[in-house]
């Protein structure tokens, strides 16, 4: 009997439906001919708690830190014991095992750790399914690989799981116990990703709080030219008081010039015309979709993720959603016309977009060299029936379909014009844009970026009709919201001060993963470290105090971003897991030595932030709570290990 172990029941059903024969339901499995398909329920196993290594570690004490397991243990999740027993029974009669976890690092870990935990010693094949449609699953079944090829990916995921445990358990215990000495009765959760994300928000809030607005002044002049009118802006010279962005800091020079300008004549001294072509935005990765959906519809990253999961699993309208890739396999190009026509036929908006698609066009999106374990989000071809979807599901699906349809539209073609006038020996500049071919742009917006200038000829005369001075003020940065925080996590190198580290991060940008970023934000809200104010995400007093009390490196992104690089090196067989974990343990010892009750007490006393109702999730029986960096006696599902 061939046993296929899928990551989730929905994937198991899709695999069973794609096999030849009639599916027969069994306890915890589906049999089809000589193949049985079973499933995990997310993670069936989790890292064992500290007291599994030593019962004395159930009590939280500073003198037991750091906790460093010599031989790592996994333990079944309480609600997963039944399914784990079903897989154990099936393995006893199996001749062959097929690993059908999701096509990513965590999916490799999730199924393989079950296979190894249950003691299977035989050969294991790997099935990679990124699209639940029957033809796609059948193609995947015809391309089974040796699971040994993915052993480095498993080792990287295993290293991540163990490192998160070490980091989260030890730092959470240390700061929670130090917090008690400082008078805070509650768990202070620290994680290798969640805490740097919190640090981003705390520092942004501090920038806003400490910002001092500075006035600056701009002078405009409405000019009459040979073929129309335009507005130009004064470019003051360096002999005037300017800031580092060239803004005028004194009103008097602008006001004096404005009085002299009406009726004055000048000449167009320089004219620059540039024709530009812009390709359509690529199909979405999950994070890119979360950013756009938050901006367009104001929905949180977590809602976008949950919506995509529903579109993938329940409705089977889109391909695997937890993807960090924005490219599509080249083999999908030929099927794209029929796929998109089927997907869009029952929705008026999509039919309108479909009518403008030219399927003879081939964009840069179809590129096998850019596709890894999974590809960009795309429609599967199943018709989208808006009456069977929620409004949010329909809106998110339209975004996904739109970005794929846009690959079959012409490029956006524009003519950009920059004009420089000399009037009263001063320089005035104007710029405009003319759309030559809107291409894909109408699918995204009907708004022009800049109005076109009238036809201009270098050397022509202009006359000032009117002029005026505008009083403006510098503005603080905007507070983070779901869209901007997800974008910051995707492009974390922008928030790194060290130029060398920033250069390194250009190739390996990212804080968290496509699958975890939304959950990290929600976790910080649930724990009372962040609070939502409308669309804005602000740090609470507790969140600000935690960051202030920690060593600076714990609340900054450099450590975890470089950590991800090490994990990538393990996955690509360029690095062994041992040195990575040894380095982490060395760092942990130094960080634990920085736990200071006086510093934490002062941070709690002086913290500034928003007020929030903090969920009472931590055990009040001091020193008896189970050691998890989630800091909770109410056990949340741990699809991704602590500290993420």
Edge-first strand order for the sheet with 124-126 is: 24-26, 29-32, 35-39, 2-6, 96-100, 124-126, 145-146
Is residue 639 one of the residues assigned to a domain?
no
Q: Assess whether 240 and 304 both reside in one domain.
A: no
| Per-residue pLDDT tens digits for 535-590 | 999 999 999 999 999 999 999 988 877 787 788 889 888 889 999 999 999 999 99
Q: Assess whether 107 and 128 both reside in one domain.
A: yes
Q: pLDDT-based confidence at 495, cuts 50/70/90?
A: confident
Mean pLDDT (whole number) for 226-233: 97
Q: Assess whether 112 and 185 both reside in one domain.
A: no
Q: Assess whether 23 and 132 both reside in one domain.
A: yes
- Take residue 34 and report the two structure tokens written for it: 């000589």
Nearest by Cα to 130 from 15, 293, 44? 15
Is residue 158 one of the residues assigned to a domain?
no
- Look at residue 259 and tell me whether its pLDDT is greater than 60: yes
Is residue 401 one of the residues assigned to a domain?
yes
Neighbours of 564 (CB within 10 A): 21
Q: Assess whether 394 and 417 both reside in one domain.
A: no
CATH number at residue 340: 1.10.290.10
Least reliable range by pLDDT among 21-30, 121-130, 600-609: 600-609
Rg for the chain (alpha carbons), in Å? 29
- Collapsing DSSP to helix, strand or coil, 20 comes out as coil
Q: Assess whether 461 and 547 both reside in one domain.
A: no
| Per-residue pLDDT tens digits for 50-81 | 999 999 999 999 999 999 999 999 999 988 99
Q: Assess whether 311 and 390 both reside in one domain.
A: yes
Q: Decide which of 315 and 447 is more confident.
A: 315
CATH number at residue 63: 3.40.50.140
Neighbours of 343 (CB within 10 A): 25
Contact by Cβ (8 Å): 425, 235: no
- As a whole number, the mean pLDDT across the chain is 90
Specify whether 320 is catalytic. Answer: yes
Q: Is the peptide bond before 599 cis (omega within 30 degrees of 0)?
A: no
**Per-residue pLDDT at 643:** 40
Q: Assess whether 361 and 486 both reside in one domain.
A: no
Question: Sign of the CA dihedral 606, 609, 613, 619?
Answer: negative
Cα 606 → chain centroid: 32
Is residue 243 one of the residues assigned to a domain?
yes
Q: Decide which of 485 and 373 is more confident.
A: 485
Nearest by Cα to 93 from 184, 29, 13? 29
Q: Assess whether 80 and 187 both reside in one domain.
A: no
CA distance 278 to 317: 29
Residue 614 burial by CB count (10 A; 0-12/13-18/19+): exposed, middle or buried?
middle
- Take residue 523 and report the two structure tokens written for it: 């976790």
DSSP string, 274-315: EEEEEPPPPPPPHHHHHHHHHHHH---HHHHHHHHHIIIIIS
Last residue of a domain, one of 392, 408, 424: 408
**Per-residue pLDDT at 617:** 40
Q: Assess whether 569 and 491 both reside in one domain.
A: yes
Q: Assess whether 198 and 230 both reside in one domain.
A: no
Question: Sign of the CA dihedral 61, 66, 70, 75?
Answer: positive
Is residue 148 one of the residues assigned to a domain?
no
> What is the Cβ-side half-sphere exposure of residue 493, based on CA atoms within 13 angstroms?
16
| Per-residue pLDDT tens digits for 136-146 | 899 999 999 99
- Take residue 4 and report the two structure tokens written for it: 């296929």
Last residue of a domain, one of 427, 446, 473: 473
- E strand or H helix at 263, and its extent? none
Q: Assess whether 121 and 193 both reside in one domain.
A: no
**Per-residue pLDDT at 426:** 97
- Return the DSSP state at 1: -
- Look at residue 334 and tell me whether its pLDDT is greater than 80: yes
- Look at residue 166 and tell me whether its pLDDT is greater than 80: yes
Is residue 221 one of the residues assigned to a domain?
yes
CATH number at residue 228: 2.70.20.10
Contact by Cβ (8 Å): 432, 230: yes
**Per-residue pLDDT at 508:** 58
**Per-residue pLDDT at 496:** 81
Range of the domain at 203: 165-210+478-606
Catalytic pick among 312, 320, 495, 529: 320
Is residue 330 one of the residues assigned to a domain?
yes
CATH number at residue 546: 1.10.460.10
Is residue 427 one of the residues assigned to a domain?
yes
Domain tally, the chain: 4
Contact by Cβ (8 Å): 60, 26: no
**Per-residue pLDDT at 497:** 78
């Amino acid at each position: 009997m061939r046993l296929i172990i899928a990551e989730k029941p929905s994937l198991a059903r899709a695999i069973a439906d794609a096999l030849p024969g009639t599916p027969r339901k069994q306890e915890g499995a589906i049999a089809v001919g000589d193949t049985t398909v079973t499933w995990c329920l997310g993670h069936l196993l989790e890292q064992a708690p500290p007291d599994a290594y030593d019962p004395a570690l159930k009590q939280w004490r500073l003198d037991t830190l750091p906790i460093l397991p010599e031989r790592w243990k996994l333990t079944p999740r309480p609600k997963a014991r039944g399914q784990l027993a079903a897989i154990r029974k099936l393995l006893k009669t199996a001749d062959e095992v097929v690993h059908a976890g999701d096509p990513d690092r965590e999916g490799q870990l999730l199924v393989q750790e079950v296979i190894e935990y249950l003691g299977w010693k035989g050969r294991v094949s790997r099935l990679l399914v990124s699209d639940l449609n029957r033809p796609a699953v059948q193609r995947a079944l015809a391309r089974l690989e040796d699971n040994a090829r993915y052993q480095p990916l498993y080792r990287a995921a295993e290293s991540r799981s163990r490192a998160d445990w070490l980091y989260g358990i030890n730092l959470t215990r240390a700061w929670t116990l130090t917090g008690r000495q400082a008078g805070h009765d509650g768990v202070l959760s620290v994680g290798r990703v969640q805490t740097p994300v919190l640090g981003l928000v705390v520092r942004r809030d501090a920038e806003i709080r400490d910002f001092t607005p500075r006035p600056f002044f701009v002078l405009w002049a409405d000019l009459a030219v040979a073929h129309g009118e335009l507005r130009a802006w004064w470019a003051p010279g360096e002999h005037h008081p300017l800031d580092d962005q060239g803004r005028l800091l004194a009103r008097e020079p602008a006001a004096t010039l404005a009085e002299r300008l009406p009726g004055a004549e000048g000449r167009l001294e320089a004219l620059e015309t540039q024709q530009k072509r812009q390709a359509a935005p690529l199909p979405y990765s999950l994070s890119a979709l979360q950013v756009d959906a938050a901006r367009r519809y104001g929905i949180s990253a977590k809602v976008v993720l949950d919506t995509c999961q529903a579109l993938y699993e329940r409705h089977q309208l889109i391909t695997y959603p937890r993807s960090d890739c924005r490219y599509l396999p080249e083999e999908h190009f030929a099927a794209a016309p029929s796929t998109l026509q089927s997907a869009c036929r029952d929705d008026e908006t999509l039919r309108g977009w479909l009518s403008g698609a030219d399927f003879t066009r081939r964009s840069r999106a179809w590129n096998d060299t850019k596709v890894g374990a999974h590809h960009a989000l795309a429609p599967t071809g199943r018709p989208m029936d808006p009456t069977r979807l929620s409004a949010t599901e329909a809106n998110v699906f339209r975004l996904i379909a739109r970005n794929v349809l846009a690959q079959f539209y012409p490029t956006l073609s524009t003519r950009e014009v920059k004009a420089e006038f000399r009037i009263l020996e001063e320089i005035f500049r104007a710029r405009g844009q003319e759309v030559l071919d809107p291409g894909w742009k109408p699918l995204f917006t009907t708004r022009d970026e800049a109005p076109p200038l009238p036809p201009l000829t270098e050397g022509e005369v202009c006359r000032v009709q009117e002029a005026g001075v505008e009083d403006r003020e510098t503005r603080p940065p905007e507070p983070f919201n779901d869209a901007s925080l997800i974008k910051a996590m995707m492009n974390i190198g922008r928030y790194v001060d060290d130029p060398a580290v920033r250069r390194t991060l250009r190739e390996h940008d990212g804080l968290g993963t496509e699958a975890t970023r939304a959950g990290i934000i929600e976790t910080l809200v649930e724990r009372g470290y962040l609070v939502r104010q409308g669309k804005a995400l602000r740090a609470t007093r507790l969140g600000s105090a935690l960051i202030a009390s920690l060593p600076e490196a714990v609340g900054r992104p450099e450590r975890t971003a470089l950590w991800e690089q090490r994990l990538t090196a393990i996955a690509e067989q360029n690095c062994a897991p041992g040195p990575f974990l040894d380095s982490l343990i060395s760092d942990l010892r130094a960080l634990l030595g920085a736990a200071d009750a006086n510093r934490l007490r002062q941070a709690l006393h002086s913290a500034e932030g928003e007020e929030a109702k903090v969920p009472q999730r931590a055990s009040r029986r001091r020193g008896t709570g189970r050691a998890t960096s989630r800091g909770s006696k109410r056990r949340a599902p741990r699809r991704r290990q602590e500290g993420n």
